[in-house]
Amino acid sequence: MARKLNTLVLLVFAVAVFANAAEAAETRWTWSEPTTGSPVMFYNVFYSPDGTNWVLQDTTHTNTWVFQPQDYPYQVSVSGVDAWDREGPRSDASEPDLGPPGQPGIPTIISIILGAIAGISITLLIVGAFLGWFRK
């Protein structure tokens, strides 16, 4: 029984560690480079929690961006900027990132299966008590 309880405690600990790791997850974004216009020197990366209010979140010199979101859902849009600091049109907004799955409920025991030897000894005790009751 102690071994199964230790396994359950370890499983609960592993779920808790996984849940904490998911909160600090990084989201990696990429997009295709423009096929027309002057060469892009860097990209402006815009962030929106609601798809209407956009904030310049960052700039990047490649067509990838790594982000550690604090709130969900959110959307991302990018625009290219050339060597003369001219900004091209923004990309369409990304699909909303809903974030990692929510926290599952507290694990509860639904059954306990005893080992074969313990099951036999419990059965013998019950049969023995039953026979002893009839002898009286």
How confident is the model over 9-31, as pLDDT tens digits?
433 333 333 444 445 578 899 99
Q: Percent of the chain scored above 70 by pLDDT? A: 67
| pLDDT exceeds cutoff 90 at 84 | yes
Cis status, amide bond into 73, omega within 30 of 0: yes
pLDDT band at 114 (very low <50, low <70, confident <90, very high): confident
| pLDDT exceeds cutoff 50 at 107 | yes
**43 bridge partner residues:** 60, 80
Comparing CA positions, the residue from 72, 73, 40 lying closest to residue 59 is 40
User: Which pTM does this prediction carry?
Assistant: 0.58
| pLDDT exceeds cutoff 90 at 7 | no
Task: Say which residue the tokens 């991302």 belong to.
Answer: 76
Q: Phi then psi for 27, rounded to 5 degrees?
A: -110, 125
State in words which class domain 2-135 has. mainly beta
Helices (H) and strands (E) in the chain, counts: 2, 5
Comparing CA positions, the residue from 13, 88, 81, 73 lying closest to residue 43 is 81
- Give the number of residues written for the chain: 136
